[in-house]
Structure 1
Amino acid sequence: MNTLAQRIKQFRKAKHLTQQALAIACGWESQSRVGNYERGIREPNLADIERMATALGVTLGDLLEGTEESSTTPSTNISFARRALEGAVPVVGYAQLGVNGYFEALDFPAGHGDGYLNIHSDDPKSYGLKVTGDSMHPRIKNGEYVLVEPSKAYFSGDEVMVRTTNGRTMIKEFIYLRDGMYRFDSVNAEHAPIHIAEDEIEHIHLVGGILKSSRFMHTTKK
């Protein structure tokens, strides 16, 4: 089996999961995303490949290994993931900054946004987001890129990307976890520190760097 679409379907069936069950395990509301990926209508970005790999109990490499690419135009998102495994960092979407320091992490439309950050990361799950908006100015400026390294540990004083169970996403400074309560300080001094209960956190990923737009490189097409 050569294509990513076929591998997703094979691993799903091996786990005796329906498309709906896999979608739920990945935190998606509808099975249509899984269906589109399995039919090859859409290509998953790196973040979605990671979610499916975790839900299916396989590694990122298991889903990517042996993936067949076009002889004329390489699959952008698969190329991203392979670059991540090799050290360079794929840009998988953008962060539309909003009020109070929150932002929405959005995928690029299929066939758009292909490129990577010209920086080494030894985290195979690392990825980049392009920042749009000014709510985190001056720490993060419009048009800059955020390097996210999910596999790395974070400590007090580190900047992290936090996603809550109610869907809020933000970049904050991790201060402490005490008595089941996280404290995060804002990267924008105009926003007060916030406290979030441990059971309200979906994930916390280390922000390994904030990069200028000059670090972005377009994927080279064959």
Structure 2
Amino acid sequence: MPLTHPRLWKALDAAARREGLSASGLARRAGLDPTAFNPSKRFGPGDPPRPRWPSTESLTRVLEVTGLSLAAFAELAEDSPPAKRCVPMLGLAQAGLDGFFDAGGFPTGDGWDATDLPAPTPGLFSLTIQGDSMAPLYRAGDRVLVDREGPAPHRGDRVVVCTTGGETVAKELLSLT
């Protein structure tokens, strides 16, 4: 489906909502004039009013600050629900083996399955719980999402850690040292 004037503005509005912002807030976050995406600026003078299109520079800035790909942005203009995305998924018993995480704790290598999500982020992956050390909270077969880019953990949060012995475990954080 071609990206028409109304669909382009629909995608910009949806991108703003996805970020919890108004169109003005999205423009501001992108380093643009806060009025750049206002409805009053979407048409120029004339009878009928002449459509105004955002510049490619403005669109590029929006993609940068939202982390959206051009394809994901175009999907926001569609009337159908967004296609599901996948994040990497690995069984927790396998997670301690060499080659599944890089030095930053992000998924790497082969052997990962996938978990469908509506809008994953680059730091998001899932693990399948194996064993019962976290029962009844987590049972064998449960999937947990891990967000490496989420807020810093606090006492009482459930966390996934790689121990110095190479084991990957899901536990409750008792203290920070």
- TM-score interval (norm. to shorter): 0.3 to 0.5
The structure carrying a bigger strand percent of its residues is 1
Give TM-score, length-normalised by structure 1: 0.31
Give TM-score, length-normalised by structure 2: 0.38
